[in-house]
A = this chain, B = another copy of it.
Amino acid sequence: MADIAVLGHGVVGSGVLEVLLSHRESIAKRAKEELNVKYILDIREFPDLPYCDRFTKDFDRILNDDSVKIVVEVMGGLEPAFPYVKACLEHGKSVVTSNKELVAAKGAELLAIAQRNNLNFLFEASVGGGIPIIRPISQCLAANEVSEIAGILNGTTNFILTKMIREHMGFEEALELAQQLGYAERDPAADVEGDDACRKICILASLAFGTHVYPRDVHTEGITHVTLGDVGYAEAWGGVIKLIGEVKTLEYGKIQIEVCPMFVSRESQLSSVDDVFNGIMVRGDATGDVVFYGKGAGKLPTASAVVADVIDCVKHFKARKYLFWEDAKPGYVEPYENMVEDVFIRAKGNDSDAAFEVVEQVFEGAERLIRREEEEGEIGFTVKDVKVKELEARFARLKELGVEPLNHIKISDF
């Protein structure tokens, strides 16, 4: 019998208990050993639960119980998750976590401690909820050079954008609906500002390319500035707007990484990933594009990914799983301003046709888009190979010539 401890009894934590209890037999068969939750750490009490006797408020009890070889951290956040997880690894306990903030902020450090002590630090649930993605990238694609990963990594924003695209609902209204349905938090900043997606693409980039990428080094835009006008122009262009986390390898061992809304062609598999679903595309030199699709969040999908990691831990007590990456290094992430991108730009003048003539002076080769219900004076157009660092100057030039730039959105190449 394998004794485990679960840190945190919130949404994911209670889901982990639910999965462990409802699938007890099949899990024991797969792990070749019965799993016993010996402790659940939470500051609250749950006297009505059948397993209420497992609760403790004392982390040290868990830390100092040598029978506990696996600790599940599902508290979220860095405090006290980080010191707790670190202490567990230093005390010879393998750790399974669903905490993307922790992995994105402290992954390299924790993986190094795990390696030193020949323990597992597993985090399948931190990206894509119940979609298997960490393991396929690290194992199945072992015989591939991965050159790019692009994904719809946040279900909340994808739900909002889907409502905007399919039902022409405004951003605010769609956000409210998402909150009513429980898809968005009361403070939705981490989702709509792109921070959640940023943590996830950092984890995937770190894993696929072997060097830790910190969220602070990643250009991150959310979807708060996306309008129904932009959605209409994307349709006219032949696609949809999705919030994408993307990382690519560049020459000289560098990478390009960013999180922002993008025009995604209807031909792309990612364009049909709708509602709260996630989709992640992994481009390998041998496999071509492989896409993983499913519910990226939610109690049971996330919990089942956590439990799968626990089973893996039990089966491999003596053989550490090979998950590892180095700490960050200077100059590894190409600065955003050095990027060259295809972009869509929405602007406003007095007269649409006249405004586009101005645009053509400033952006050579601009291609105009016409959307349904276009407003007087509004124009939308695409430009190829724009240097990000030159955009501001070009926008200033447009303004001088009487055309007000309102928004710009990257055009994806997948």
Contact call A140/B293, Cβ cutoff below 8 A: no
Contact call B300/A289, Cβ cutoff below 8 A: no
Bits for A317-330, please: 1 = Cβ < 8 Å to B, else 0.
01100100000000
Q: A288-B294, A295-B288 are in contact. Are A141 and B145 (CB under 8 A)?
A: no
Closest 10 CB pairs between A and B? A132-B140, A130-B287, A143-B307, A286-B304, A290-B294, A291-B293, A132-B136, A286-B300, A143-B304, A142-B308
Q: Is A316 an interface residue (CB 8 A)?
A: yes
Residues of B within 8 A of A286 (CB): 19, 130, 300-301, 303-304
Bits for A292-310, please: 1 = Cβ < 8 Å to B, else 0.
1111001011011111101
Residues of B within 8 A of A301 (CB): 286-288
For chain A, residues 103 to 151, give those with C-beta under 8 angstroms from any C-beta of chain B.
124, 129-132, 135-136, 139-145
Additional pairs, 20, CB under 8 Å, beyond known A136-B136, A143-B304, A143-B305: A19-B286, A23-B143, A23-B144, A23-B145, A30-B142, A30-B322, A31-B142, A130-B144, A130-B284, A130-B287, A130-B288, A132-B140, A135-B136, A141-B308, A142-B307, A143-B308, A287-B295, A287-B300, A287-B301, A287-B305
Q: Is A272 an interface residue (CB 8 A)?
A: yes
Partner of A289, one of B139, B294, B322: B294
Chain B's closest residue to A131 (CB) is B290
**CA–CA, A287 to B312, complex, Å?**
17
Can you identify 29 A-B contacts, CB atoms within 8 angstroms? A19-B143, A23-B145, A26-B145, A27-B142, A30-B142, A30-B322, A31-B142, A124-B140, A131-B287, A132-B290, A135-B136, A135-B139, A139-B312, A140-B305, A140-B308, A142-B307, A142-B312, A143-B304, A143-B306, A269-B272, A286-B300, A286-B303, A288-B294, A288-B295, A288-B301, A290-B292, A290-B295, A291-B293, A293-B293
Contact call B135/A290, Cβ cutoff below 8 A: no
Partner of A292, one of B19, B124, B292, B312: B292
Q: Is A411 an interface residue (CB 8 A)?
A: no
Q: Is A198 an interface residue (CB 8 A)?
A: no
Residues of B within 8 A of A269 (CB): 272, 293
Q: Is A54 an interface residue (CB 8 A)?
A: no
Contact call B293/A290, Cβ cutoff below 8 A: yes
Q: Is A315 an interface residue (CB 8 A)?
A: yes
Contact call A287/B294, Cβ cutoff below 8 A: yes
Chain B's closest residue to A16 (CB) is B143
Q: Is A153 an interface residue (CB 8 A)?
A: no
> Please, how many residues of chain A have a CB less than 8 angstroms from a CB on the other chain?
52
Q: Is A75 an interface residue (CB 8 A)?
A: no
Q: Is A359 an interface residue (CB 8 A)?
A: no
**CA–CA, A24 to B15, complex, Å?**
43
Nearest chain B CB to A281 CB, angstrom units:
9
Contact call B304/A141, Cβ cutoff below 8 A: yes
Residues of B within 8 A of A306 (CB): 143
For chain A, residues 31 to 78, give those with C-beta under 8 angstroms from any C-beta of chain B.
31-32
Residues of B within 8 A of A288 (CB): 130, 294-295, 298, 300-301
Chain B's closest residue to A311 (CB) is B142
**CA–CA, A128 to B140, complex, Å?**
12
Nearest chain B CB to A349 CB, angstrom units:
38
Nearest chain B CB to A292 CB, angstrom units:
6
**CA–CA, A315 to B321, complex, Å?**
9
**CA–CA, A144 to B292, complex, Å?**
17
Chain B's closest residue to A301 (CB) is B287
Contact call A143/B294, Cβ cutoff below 8 A: no
**CA–CA, A125 to B31, complex, Å?**
25
Contact call B141/A132, Cβ cutoff below 8 A: yes
Residues of B within 8 A of A322 (CB): 30, 32, 315
